[in-house]
Amino acid sequence: MPQEPSRRERGLDLRNIDLLRFIRPYKTRLVAGIGATISHSLVTVFFFKLFKDFLDTMIDSIATSRHSLRPLTLISLTLVGMFLFKGIAYYGQRYLTTYVAQRTMKDLREALYRHLQSMSMEFFDKNKVGQIMSRTVNDVAILEGAIVSGAINVFYNLITLVVGMGYLLYLNPKLTVLILAVFPSIVYVYRKYSRRIRGMSRRIQESVADINDVLHEGLVGIRIVKSFVREDYEFNRFVRENEANFAAHRKNAQLTATLSPMVELLASLGFTLVLWFGGYEVIRGTMTPGELIAFFTLALMIINPLKALSGLSHTVQNALAAADRIVDLLNQRPAITEIANPKELPSDTPGRVELRNVSFGYHPGELVLRDINLEIEPGETVALVGPSGAGKSTLADLIPRFYEVTSGEILVDGHDIKTLSLASLRQAIAVVPQETVLFAGSIYDNILYGNLGADREEVVAAAQAANAHGFISALEHGYDTIIGEKGVGLSGGQRQRIAIARALLKNPRILILDEATSALDTQSEALVQEALENLMRDRTTLVIAHRLSTIVEADKIVVLDRGQIVEVGTHQELLAKGGFYHRLYEGQWQEQ
């Protein structure tokens, strides 16, 4: 996906505000959580006031030789009450803020997935799956981490810092000013480092996406990797990406590890000064010992929020970069959209397909299909043949509107497909691709995918028509057999027959079939062929044909070459013509 470092460099991008809409539904809880956070901070600082009173009362008692325990008991009881209240406030703060953060992230993940589903095929051509996944999974996780442990802590620490400073000012303005004098140097160091940390965080994110890509490719293509004995080659690619990731982490660790001690060192310089001047004030009698000890311990406590705030730059910068990428993704619009008030294609539509002067290119100025005119009557089977790269798959992809024609129009039963709702158009079409895709789950669920409203009888009937019932029943768990990610444990032919059963259950008017090129054994081939015949019966079928038997039996053969239809006719007609098809036949199918 395009990276724009200049914008990332700026850090806070106003478009990130878009993400606030995800928090809006939970604003009551958020406000309550903020209230609890403020109460918690106030009570934390109040402790120091009680501590000071306790010390002064004690020192006063010693000095005046009055031995009444009453004030001490009172202060101690207040302390117990205070800790009780603090505990409740802490619970409210943690529970409510985490609730809001996690619910927001849940909604965001769902919105992202929904958004991804709505994107056109063009988007999935341009962006690698690894990168898209890294965005939906990692970036949301980064944001989640930053909000749960980051934003909530930032807020708590900020409040504690402000309230604490307020009390320090009240206790002794002079000493507080002394502490504040150290602040500019801290801010300077912080700003200098955080810019470099931001750049490094970006590099880490990118390297994680690269690792995902290499891993994804190497595992999805493991069969190819093994057959070429390229394990070492793939491993070395992985090692390279891993090393880049480690180098970025190492540099990042150096930067963040320097930042915290620097801030701490500067801060401790301030405290040494406080101790010296404070001691001097107590000796002079302008400050009580209780005040100095409370001042000093509170100031020491405030260094924690300060340190946490400076250490958080890393998380915050990461989160900003992640938020940026998420907003980028959410702002991308699908290339293919419906018109306002689209027509619904009825489910019993006859299924006549017509392409009128259709041209198409994946990239502007590079036409892959040129001036295609094609009519497929309801129930007719058209075989699409042509050399590799001729544009057969592209043509097939245009009918369910996976891509938009560059010019011309495609009509289904007289309706321009651009005027139809995408769901009703695609509901009328079943696509059986070359590569069978089965989802993790049971065989039953995989067939049911074709029509979620079907009952068991219909599923079994579809499996029977697809020649799959026999082998499914022979399995130990029958239809409830769980198949792995890519249908592990089933033969190629069995997988194809499950995919055919799924398409049969969908019962579409139009069928787009990309015949598998990989040869099955004769028996399996016959079973698949018969299943396909059952599937094609009475449906308008466009088949990207690889088998001679399919081509010979087709009502019409359309020969495509370099994006253009060069010949149309039946097998006999085209052979007799002795043209392109004849040459293709001689080269490819004669031996079949």
Q: Which residues bind ligand ATP (CB under 6 A)?
A: 125, 362, 368, 386, 388-394
- CB closer to ligand ATP out of 29 and 562: 562
Shortest distance, position 434 Cβ to ligand ATP, whole Å: 8
Shortest distance, position 127 Cβ to ligand ATP, whole Å: 12
- CB closer to ligand ATP out of 89 and 369: 369
CA distance 557 to 539: 16
What is Dmax (Cα atoms) for the chain?
126
Phi then psi dihedrals of residue 179, to 5 deg: -65, -45
- CB closer to ligand ATP out of 325 and 546: 546
Residue 349: strand, helix, or coil: coil
H helices present in 382-491, as ranges: 392-398, 422-427, 443-448, 456-465, 469-474
Which among 299, 138, 268 has a CA at the least distance from the CA of 213?
138
Q: 3-state SS string over 408-422?
A: EEEEECCEEHHHECH
- CB closer to ligand ATP out of 326 and 395: 395
Residue 430 · residue 509 · CB < 8 Å: no
The residue assigned the tokens 């002394």 is: 178
- CB closer to ligand ATP out of 227 and 388: 388
Shortest distance, position 137 Cβ to ligand ATP, whole Å: 25
CA distance 410 to 413: 10
- CB closer to ligand ATP out of 92 and 387: 387
Shortest distance, position 386 Cβ to ligand ATP, whole Å: 6
- CB closer to ligand ATP out of 319 and 512: 512
Q: Give the number of C-alpha atoms closer than 13 A to the C-alpha of residue 266, restricted to the C-beta side.
A: 19
CA distance 212 to 138: 11
CA angle 317, 318, 323 (to 5 degrees): 95
Q: 3-state SS string over 153-199?
A: HHHHHHHHHHHHHHHHHHHCHHHHHHHHHHHHHHHHHHHHHHHHHHH
- CB closer to ligand ATP out of 19 and 548: 548
Query: In the numeric block, which tokens belong to residue 12?
Result: 């806070």
Query: In the numeric block, which tokens belong to residue 475?
Result: 């399995």
Shortest distance, position 498 Cβ to ligand ATP, whole Å: 23
Shortest distance, position 341 Cβ to ligand ATP, whole Å: 31
Shortest distance, position 18 Cβ to ligand ATP, whole Å: 30
- CB closer to ligand ATP out of 397 and 416: 397
CA distance 582 to 574: 7
Residue 439 · residue 430 · CB < 8 Å: no
Instruction: Using DSSP bridges, classify how beta strands 556-561 and 482-483 pair: parallel, antiparallel or unpaired.
Output: unpaired
Shortest distance, position 581 Cβ to ligand ATP, whole Å: 15
Residue 454: strand, helix, or coil: coil
Shortest distance, position 390 Cβ to ligand ATP, whole Å: 4
Shortest distance, position 388 Cβ to ligand ATP, whole Å: 3
Residue 401 · residue 429 · CB < 8 Å: no
Query: In the numeric block, which tokens belong to residue 181?
Result: 């004098």
Shortest distance, position 389 Cβ to ligand ATP, whole Å: 4
CA distance 538 to 379: 5
- CB closer to ligand ATP out of 396 and 462: 396
Shortest distance, position 471 Cβ to ligand ATP, whole Å: 29
Q: Please count the helices (runs of H) and the strands (runs of E) in the chain.
A: 21, 12
- CB closer to ligand ATP out of 49 and 562: 562
Residue 430 · residue 513 · CB < 8 Å: no
Q: What would the DSSP string read from start to end of 535-558?
A: HHTTSEEEEE--SHHHHHH-SEEE
Shortest distance, position 451 Cβ to ligand ATP, whole Å: 28
- CB closer to ligand ATP out of 362 and 585: 362
Shortest distance, position 122 Cβ to ligand ATP, whole Å: 8
CB neighbour list of residue 381: distance below 8 Å, 6 or more residues apart: 536, 541, 543, 553, 554, 555, 556
- CB closer to ligand ATP out of 206 and 397: 397
b/e 302-331 (16+ beta carbons within 10 angstroms → b): bbebbbbbbbbbbbbbbbbbbbbbbbbbbe
Residue 449 · residue 437 · CB < 8 Å: no
- Other CB atoms within 10 Å distance of the CB of residue 217: 18
**Beta strand spans in 261-404 (E):** 353-360, 369-376, 381-385
Shortest distance, position 219 Cβ to ligand ATP, whole Å: 22
- CB closer to ligand ATP out of 48 and 403: 403
- CB closer to ligand ATP out of 308 and 558: 558
